[in-house]
Amino acid sequence: MDITGWQSQLRKGAAELVVLSLLQGGERYGLDILDSAGGSGGVLSDGTLYPLLTRLEREAKVEARWAMADDAKIPRKYYRLTAEGEALVAQMQRAWHEFSAFVTGAIEEAQDGRKTAPAGRTIPALAD
Amino acid sequence: MDITGWQSQLRKGAAELVVLSLLQGGERYGLDILDSAGGSGGVLSDGTLYPLLTRLEREAKVEARWAMADDAKIPRKYYRLTAEGEALVAQMQRAWHEFSAFVTGAIEEAQDGRKTAPAGRTIPALAD
C-alpha cells in the first residue's frame, strides 16, 4: 500500500518548523538549508524550499539579503529570522513536542494494549 | 502569532495514523476512539473522527459492525482493522518514527548549533 501522499502531508506541515529552526543558528542560504533539511527522511526538496522561503519572507517571519562569503564564488541570498520569526519558531517547537509526544504515545499505548489485552474478548453482535 | 492553522495541518496528517494505531488493540467504537485521540493535545475532534472513519471504511482499511456490549444501553458501531489496515498501520508507524526523529533532530541540532556558533560571524553584504 502506498503511503507517499500521507508522508507528503506530514512533511509539508513540518517543513516550515524545520526551516525556521535551522535559522535559529544564524543566517543561512537556500542550498545550505536544503543540505540539512532535504535528503533521505527529510522534509524538503528544492521544489518545496524556495516557495516556502518566499512565503516566509512575505509573511515577515524571515528576512533576506544578498551577500558574498569569503569562500564563495558567487553571491548568495541569506535568510535569517525576524523578531517575529524568533517568537514563532519557539511557539511551534513547543507545539511540535506536545504533538509528537501525543502521536508517539498513542502508538505505544496501542502496542502495549495489544500485548496485554485479554485474548478472545468479544462483544456480541446484534441479533438480526 | 497564531499557529492554529499550522497545528491543524499537522493533526490532520496524524489523525489516520493514531486511529489505525488505536485499533491495533482490538475493535473499538467511535466515542471510545475519541476519548483516546481527542482532547487536549489530541489530534481529533468529533467533527473530524466520523468523516475519517467513514473514509477508512470506504478504503477498506477498517471494517465495522453494530454490536451491543454487556454494559451498554445502546448498540454501537465497532470498528476494527482489516488485514490491509494492519499492514498499512505498521508501515505508517515506521514512517512516523523516521519522520518525527528527523524533525526533532533538526530542532535539537539547530539549538545546539546556536549554543556553540562562534559569536559575531558575519558575511559581508554585497557592495552597492
Query: Could you please report the per-residue DSSP string of A9-72?
Result: HHHHHHHHHHHHHHGGGS-EEHHHHHHHH-STT-S--HHHHHHHHHHHHHTTSEEEEEE--TT-
Angle B24-B30-B35 (CA atoms, 0-180°, nearest 5)?
Answer: 80
Lowest mean pLDDT among A77-86, A105-114, B50-59: A105-114
Q: Give A-chain residues touching B86 at CB under 8 angstroms.
A: none
Q: Contact, B37 vs B3, CB < 8 A?
A: no
Q: Which pLDDT does position A115 carry in this prediction?
A: 61
Inspect the interface and report whether the beta carbons of B96 and A84 lie closer than 8 Å.
no
pTM above 0.80, yes or no: yes
Considering only CA atoms, which of B60, B59, B69 is closest in space to residue B27? B69
Nearest CB to B100 within list A7, A27, A100: A100
In this structure, what C-alpha cell is assigned to residue B115?
Answer: 549554543
Q: Give B-chain residues touching A4 at CB under 8 angstroms.
A: none
Length of chain A (residues): 128
Q: Is 3.20.20.150 the CATH classification of the domain at B4-108?
A: no
Q: Contact, A23 vs A46, CB < 8 A?
A: no
Collapsing DSSP to helix, strand or coil, B70 comes out as coil
Collapsing DSSP to helix, strand or coil, B60 comes out as coil
Query: Over the stretch B2-21, which tens digit does the pLDDT of each residue have?
Result: 899 888 888 888 999 999 99
**Which tops the pLDDT comparison, A63 or A3?**
A63
**Which tops the pLDDT comparison, A1 or B91?**
B91
Express as a percent the part of chain A with pLDDT over 70.
Answer: 88
Length of chain B (residues): 128
Chain A nearest C-alpha distance from B61 (Å) = 10
Chain B nearest C-alpha distance from A5 (Å) = 10
Q: Which pLDDT does position B100 carry in this prediction?
A: 94
Express as a percent the part of chain A with pLDDT over 90.
Answer: 57
Collapsing DSSP to helix, strand or coil, B81 comes out as strand
**Which tops the pLDDT comparison, A114 or B75?**
B75
At A45, the pLDDT band (50, 70, 90 cuts) reads confident
Q: Which pLDDT does position A46 carry in this prediction?
A: 82
Q: Contact, B81 vs B20, CB < 8 A?
A: yes
Q: Give A-chain residues touching B123 at CB under 8 angstroms.
A: 27, 67-70, 78
- Would the pLDDT of A121 be above 60? no
Distance separating alpha carbons of residues A12 and B7, to the nearest angstrom: 12
In this structure, what C-alpha cell is assigned to residue B39?
Answer: 482532547
Nearest CB to B21 within list A42, A107, A126: A107
- Would the pLDDT of A110 be above 90? no
Q: Which pLDDT does position B59 carry in this prediction?
A: 95
Q: Give A-chain residues touching B98 at CB under 8 angstroms.
A: 41
Nearest CB to A14 within list B65, B103, B117: B103
Inspect the interface and report whether the beta carbons of B109 and A36 lie closer than 8 Å.
yes
Q: Give B-chain residues touching A100 at CB under 8 angstroms.
A: 100, 103-104
Q: Which pLDDT does position B16 carry in this prediction?
A: 93
CB atoms within 10 A of CB B28: 18
For chain B, domain boundaries = 4-108
Distance separating alpha carbons of residues A119 and B4, to the nearest angstrom: 41
- Would the pLDDT of A118 be above 60? no
The CATH-assigned architecture of domain A4-114 is: Orthogonal Bundle (1.10)
In this structure, what C-alpha cell is assigned to residue A86?
Answer: 524568533
- Average pLDDT (A11-23) is 92
Inspect the interface and report whether the beta carbons of B109 and A17 lie closer than 8 Å.
no
Q: Which pLDDT does position B54 carry in this prediction?
A: 96
Inspect the interface and report whether the beta carbons of A43 and B102 lie closer than 8 Å.
yes
Q: Give B-chain residues touching A18 at CB under 8 angstroms.
A: 102-103, 106-107
Nearest CB to A66 within list B13, B121, B126: B126
In this structure, what C-alpha cell is assigned to residue A55?
Answer: 512565503
pLDDT string in tens for chain B (128-residue length): 689 988 888 888 899 999 999 999 899 999 999 998 887 668 888 889 999 999 999 999 999 999 998 888 899 999 999 999 999 999 999 999 999 999 999 898 877 766 655 544 577 777 65
